[in-house]
Every structure is written in structure tokens, then in C-alpha cells.
Structure 1
């Protein structure tokens, strides 16, 4: 990924990063509430994804959520909606205080590595000091690039009418390296130098790069469902893919006498491509209530997911049994 902090992205993705301290002993209630909130957000136009990051080891009981939409207008429609307001009112007793929230527009995808951690730093830049702040950020980045474990940084400008903070997001390959940088004397001197450009800043750490077939973007160790669920859902998408290719491409290649080894290679290219970019994203979205690893699932939900997959198996078998019978 690029390390140029001042780069303007052409991507139209809008992201809101929310940090909130959950009251002691109420994490399970919070998870259930967050699941309902995620479901509500999915119903809004432009929804792209939602991610939940639990507190890091030894840290405060602070949870970070990330919602992505396909534009600022779609994101603000969700943020200002009565549905979200009702959910926040419902959860008022779960949190120690009001959440902090930053809206980011654009940005490049992160390279997902298991131990990557992210820092999100919001600055209240003084009016008229924007150019000085940018020059200070460039200087800070040049020093930061030499820090052990540094993986990249991005600068997000304020979003007019939504939030006025300048937000810097940077990533390190481990929490130890991130903490070393945040607590270093070099950074302390840089912050002291830059304090003439901003009135306040806020630092939040996330145990992930912010985001395979199975990648739901949760914290470390929670990026994929259990192996048995992966096997069931891959089979769900793989069987119809192989059948369709066999009945169409397979027959065509046989007729022109293409060698079996080459025909299988072409077939595998097409099947893997179809799974990766078409079918598995659809399956993941349809079965998100059952697959997403950050959810707390009851027995009924687990059984509903298994039953849904089994029913799809039966439907696929019935459809292709009918098709092959008609052909032959």
C-alpha cells in the first residue's frame, strides 16, 4: 500500500469509525445490540459492510465499529436516520459515555495481515493552520516511515457538513511496534512541534488492518468462520459451478478433442474465478447471519444456517438431476 499521507483518493467509499466504551459486564448485551444495528444498516441504500473490533488485550473495554457505504450521502442517510437514533437510545445504558466518531471519505484497501494493528488519530486543526498542519504531517510521515514495523499511512480531510476533524490512519505489523512508536520520544517531540496547528487530538487503536472467500473483517483470530462452515458453504457454491461447467464447457471441449489435462486446467480457472468474485461473496452475504465470526449465535440460529445450506444442497441436486435426465 502507498505511504503517501496526503494522497487524495478517487474512491467514493465513505466510512464511519466509531469508538465506544462498553460498561463492565455488559459485553454480551452489546454484541447482541451491535448485531441488530448491523442488520439495520444493511437495509439502507449503499451499504457496503460493517466490522466490529473488540478491545485489545490489556486495553480499556473500548469497542470500535466500522460502517462503509458507497458514498457520503448514503452514509449520512444512515447516520441521521430515525432507525439508528432509536437503536442508540436503546443502547444508552450499555456505554460509559458518548461514543467518538470519525467519517472518512475514500482511502485505499489495507493489505490484510493477521497481526496488523491500526491507529486512528483525529485532529482539531486550528482555522487557517491547514497548510502548516499538512507540512507537519509530511515531516511526521518521513520520520514514521523509519519506525520498525511501519506499514503505511493515510490522511483523510474533513467531510463538509459531516465532521470537521482531520484524521490520520496508520498501520504497524504488531501492537508492540505500534505502541513503541506512539510512546517514543521522537513522536512526542513531533507532537509538541505540531501542537501549534491543532487544539486537540484523539488516538484510538484497532487490532486489525480494517480489512479470500471468508474475510469478514473482525479482529485478530476472528477473520473467518469455523472450518466446518467453510467446507459446507464452499461445497454449496462449488457443486453448481462444476456441474454448469461440465454440462457446457466440458462437452464443448470434448467435441473439439482438447486434451483432458488442459480442459481441466481451463475449467479450474473458471470455477475458481466464479467462486472468488461471484458466488462466494453472494453466499457470504446471504448467510452472514450464520457465518460472521463476531456474532453470538444461539442454537436456533445455528440450526437455521445448517438447514438453509442443506436445503440448497437438495435444490441443487434436484435441479441438476432434472437437467441431466432431460439431456440424456
Structure 2
């Protein structure tokens, strides 16, 4: 099957969120395995996108992988496939326990927007208490809406034949605001009440890294590039930005005898602004053939993109070497 991204209505969207705690010292091996898994999923009909989210600072080594398909049948084709089972067998020993998995039907197909932190909470609802759970969830949402930084919530019902859990996904504008809500007295009181309606629940957090500089039609179901491509592209734009600022603004600030820590702050403001609104959009357009996952489906394109970026590095270094008269 060829790699392709399919589009459909929101009601047709199907997403699987997998959380896996990686054993200490096996992170790099896990990342290589996850890359192979993402490539395998890409070959299946109806594939829309995949994202992998590393653990936050100070958290356990728990990684979250999200796969999006254009329909539940297509998602289950991937989940039940021999290829996926082979990959899971191959990963035996990488994780401390079996991965936790939640399947979501409907809802938004786009990944979290920049800086947004998402919590995925699954509930095992007591039989016969479904309506009570829904009423409790409605009260919880009203309380959430008053919390600082709250950006929205979605409720996903069980998927017959796939999973029995009810899943709630909600978003905050920062990890700090999300953690404040999760540890608040209001939520603690609500959870105590909710114990009458569900027997257990599980919380997972998802965050992004450089995603603010890499937006390829996210509202249409696009996806962000892998972190290593993001890092290479940011360096490509960051190096000339810093050099130009040092040779112009930095020189001017020295002449004005502005204190170093103030000058550094002003330089950071200018460099981030230049990256966000000028240089990164240009880099995104120029390297879209390599950065957009749905386009970079062949090894030739992957290698070509790396070669182009490295050549740009060398050109930049050579140009600024000549400008500063420090070339060999």
C-alpha cells in the first residue's frame, strides 16, 4: 500500500493514543523503534498523521504516541494488522509494562496547537451508571471552564468491539495551568464524587516541543515534522539570525554602553521575533518537501533534505567567515 494522507469529516476521525513507559537506558532504542512504527502506519489506507510526545521535565520516562486515521475501520485495520503485531513483538523488553491504549472516535483531527498541553483521561465507568457519569462530567466541565488557562474539552464514548473506556481529552495553555487544575481542591472534590460512577481512571499528559514554528495546515489534519528535523531547521534559521544581530544590533548596543544583560534580552526578543514571523515561515516553505511527513515518504527525499540543510550550514559558515575576516 502506498503512503497517503486521507481526509474526512470530524465524525469519521479515529485516533489511538498509546502511552508507554520506556525502561531506563532504552530511550534511543525506543525512538528508533517508534520511527519504524510510524513509517509502517503511514503505509496503511486512511492514515492521517502520527505524533510522538516525550515525557516532560521531571516526569517518568513515559512517552505518548498518537496515530490518526480517517475512519474507525481503517484504524482497526492498523491496530489488528500482522505488521503492527510484529513491531510490538520486536519491542518486547523496551517497556516496563504493557502500553496503555485509548481509542477515540470523532473529535478534532488536528494535533495540539503550539504551547498547548493536553490531558487524556480514561474512565472505567460502572455498569448502569453511564448517565450519572455524563452528568458528573458536565459538572466537571463547568468547573474546568473557570480554571486559568483552560482551552477546551472533548468527551469520547466507548467504541464497541474496540474498547470499553470513556475518554476525556482537555487542553490548557501551559503545563503549569494544567497541573494547577489536576491538583486543585475543586477537582479533588469532584473525583471523590465521581468514585460512585467509575471504578478507575488514568491520566496522561501530552505536550509539544518546537511545534509553534512548524505548522503545515494543522487545521486540515497535517502533522509536525520529527523533532530531529525541527531542530536542524531551527539551527538553519537561528545561526544567521544570531550572527546578523551580533554584527549589527550587538555592535550598536556596545556603542550605546547598554548593560550586557539588557542587551542580551533585547537580542533574544529580536531573534525570536525574526524566527517566528520571518525566517521559519521561509524555511518551512523552502523545505516543505522534506519537513512535511506526508511528502517525505521516500529515502531519497529524506537524504536530499539532510544534504540541502547541511550545505546551507556550510554556506552560512563560509559567508560569515568572510564577513568577519576569519575564514581560513
Match of 2:199 in 1: 199
* CA distance 1:306–1:58, change in 2 (3 Å): closer
Deviation track 1:40-61 (CA, whole Å, cap 9, x = no partner) reads 1111111111110001110000
In the alignment, is residue 178 of structure 1 matched against residue 178 of structure 2? Answer: yes
Number of residues paired by the alignment?
249
Match of 1:153 in 2: 153
**Partner residue of 1:286 out of 281, 295, 301:** 295
User: How far off its partner does 1:115 sit?
Assistant: 2.0
In the alignment, is residue 138 of structure 1 matched against residue 138 of structure 2? Answer: yes
- Secondary structure at 1:138 match in 2: helix
User: How far off its partner does 1:135 sit?
Assistant: 0.4
* CA RMSD, Structure 1 to Structure 2 (Å): 3.5
CA distance in 1, matches of 2:231, 2:107: 24
Aligned ranges 1:237-316 → 2 under 5 Å: 280=288, 284=292, 285-287=294-296, 303-306=303-306
**Partner residue of 2:233 out of 222, 226, 237:** 226
* CA distance 1:281–1:42, change in 2 (3 Å): same
CA contact (8 A) 1:19 1:64 kept: yes
- Secondary structure at 2:142 match in 1: helix
User: How far off its partner does 1:190 sit?
Assistant: 0.2
Aligned ranges 1:13-92 → 2 under 5 Å: 13-92=13-92
User: How far off its partner does 1:175 sit?
Assistant: 0.7
Deviation track 1:250-292 (CA, whole Å, cap 9, x = no partner) reads xxxxxxxxxxxxxxxxxxxxxx9xx98xx958972232678xx
Match of 1:104 in 2: 104
Q: Structure 2: where are the runs of 5+ without partners? A: 1-8, 238-280, 311-328
**Partner residue of 1:213 out of 216, 222, 227:** 216
* CA distance 1:62–1:287, change in 2 (3 Å): same
CA distance in 1, matches of 2:197, 2:21: 29
